[in-house]
């Protein structure tokens, strides 16, 4: 199968490496000099150092070549940008009439509060097979070939089968779902909760506090997912509980690192400089806070995280506000 991966960050590169086990893969990035360096060094030294690129992985900065490479009926176009980059990338792809398109990003579009599949429908319509490939996964571990389980969510059974055929190999397991809303909401909101657990860990509040935040955070994910017509059972799976556990506890989590830095009193500007880019949970927190208010959904942890990120509330005050809430019956 011919596959083009658009976006040569850490996750796009890791997925491209994994895909080469069974497919003819091209990895595209917009920075021509960076792609030339990757081609000669056979390594993405900027975003995924220490992981050699397979010799059969093609590298290119030619966008048209990348789209043409994956233009057949059984070919696959994989968009590995952030949520903020999804719309412009899809618009650029539109003129080439792609057949099968999936994305790897997790979040809500900041200005519109749209999920990725809603953005794709706006731009590509219903005549293109589209879907989201998400799940608990760190780029570094996928690049090493360590065990991993992902979910492909799409309304197209054929696309799900295509993705399973391309990726279900060696240590990687791929499961399919038709619940795009549930899969995308779980993948998005868990990033916000990882910031919250990072704050708690950074303040030395212990494992009990982390467990409480994760559990009550899952309730927030479920409330939002169901309100947007997702399935509650989806959020008990890989892209709900699974992704939540990994991102809130794993030391490789960029969103957890944001929370740890906030606990140290660092500003968001300094955190972004140190990370090199914005973690998805930062942008997502603002969008989800706005959406939850519009829908009348109670999401106190999300609101607290957004308050620290955007309203000047300290990390200590965030925790105090959450602890001072009135006791309620435990319900999802």
Catalytic residues: 190
Partners of 153 in the beta sheet? 132, 177
Give the strand pairing for 24-28 and 48-52.
unpaired
Count the Cβ atoms, other than its own, within 10 Å of residue 149: 15
Which helix (DSSP H) or strand (DSSP E) does residue 187 occupy? helix 180-202
Distance between CA 53 and CA 13 in Å, rounded? 8
Distance between CA 287 and CA 309 in Å, rounded? 12
Q: Tell me which residue of 259, 214, 206 sits closest to 240, measured CA to CA.
A: 214
Distance between CA 102 and CA 28 in Å, rounded? 15
Distance between CA 56 and CA 316 in Å, rounded? 50
- Enumerate residues 6+ apart whose C-beta is below 8 A from 327: none
Count the Cβ atoms, other than its own, within 10 Å of residue 319: 20
């Amino acid at each position: 199968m011919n596959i083009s991966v658009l976006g040569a960050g850490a996750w796009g590169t890791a997925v491209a490496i994994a895909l080469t086990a069974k497919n003819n893969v091209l990895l595209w990035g917009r920075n021509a000099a960076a792609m030339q360096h990757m081609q000669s060094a056979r390594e993405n030294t900027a975003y995924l150092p220490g992981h050699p690129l397979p010799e059969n992985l093609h590298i290119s900065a030619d966008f048209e070549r990348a789209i043409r490479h994956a233009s057949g009926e059984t070919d696959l176009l994989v968009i590995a940008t952030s949520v903020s980059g999804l719309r412009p990338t899809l618009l650029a792809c539109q003129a080439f009439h792609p057949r099968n398109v999936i994305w790897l990003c997790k979040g809500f579009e900041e200005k519109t509060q749209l999920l990725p599949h809603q953005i794709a429908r706006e731009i590509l319509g219903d005549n293109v097979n589209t879907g989201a490939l998400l799940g608990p996964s760190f780029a570094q571990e996928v690049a090493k070939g360590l065990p991993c389980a992902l979910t492909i969510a799409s309304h197209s059974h054929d696309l799900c089968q295509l993705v399973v055929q391309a990726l279900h190999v060696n240590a990687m397991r791929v499961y399919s779902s038709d619940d795009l809303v549930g899969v995308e909401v779980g993948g998005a909101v868990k990033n916000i909760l990882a910031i919250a657990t990072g704050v708690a860990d950074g303040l030395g509040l212990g494992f009990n506090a982390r467990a409480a935040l994760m559990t009550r955070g899952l309730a927030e994910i479920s409330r939002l997912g169901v309100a947007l017509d997702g399935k509650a059972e989806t959020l008990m799976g890989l892209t709900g509980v699974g992704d939540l556990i990994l991102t809130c506890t794993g030391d490789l989590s960029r969103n957890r690192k944001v929370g740890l830095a906030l606990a140290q009193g660092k500003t968001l500007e300094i955190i972004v400089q140190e990370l090199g880019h914005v973690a998805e949970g930062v942008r997502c927190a603002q969008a989800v806070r706005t959406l939850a208010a519009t829908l009348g959904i109670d999401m106190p942890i999300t609101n607290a995280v957004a308050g620290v990120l955007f309203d000047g509330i300290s990390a200590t005050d965030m925790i105090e506000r959450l602890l001072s809430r009135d006791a309620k019956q435990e319900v999802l």
